[in-house]
Amino acid sequence: MLKKLISSLFVSILVVVLGYAFFVFFSRVPNFEAAQSFAQLKTFPSMVCDFSTDGFTEAMKGTIYINEGVMRSDYMYFSGRDEVRIHMIIGTDGIGRAWKDGSSEGVLMDLGSATPSPTAPAFESFRTYENIDCKRWWFVDKSLFVIPTDINFSPPDF
């Protein structure tokens, strides 16, 4: 009887330890700042990252969602007394669509997913967040990656 109790206890402890090790192993996320291109994000697991930047005249705070090679960012941009809520979805083709709350117009950008370029300004701006904390995203809300149909996206005017 005592042998069965000890065996059961040993098996229970082993299951808990292996379960914890499995969870820790699969909970790890790649280093977002180490990505060299949007194309590399296609290899990342589903994850969510909270970020912020602080500056003397402007700041940003928001969340980045990554799933199946698609990235979405929702953030607040602060400049002086102005606050703007901005959203952007970057598809697996490297095409980014950005819009702000309250507007029916958005910007369409080719962010060049095919060519890794750590110095590309559009990608570099995502890699320079001062405070970024990423976690695995176990229960993905795919509705976040649906491009809004009530926004008219067009290339930026320079």
d(CA 53, CA 22): 34
pLDDT digits (tens, 9 = 90+) for 75-111: 998 888 888 899 999 888 888 899 999 999 999 988 7
pTM of the model: 0.70
pLDDT digits (tens, 9 = 90+) for 125-144: 444 556 788 888 889 999 99
DSSP class of residue 45 equals P
Confidence (pLDDT) at 99: 93
Strand partners, 71: 66, 90
The full set of domain ranges for the chain reads: 1-30, 32-154
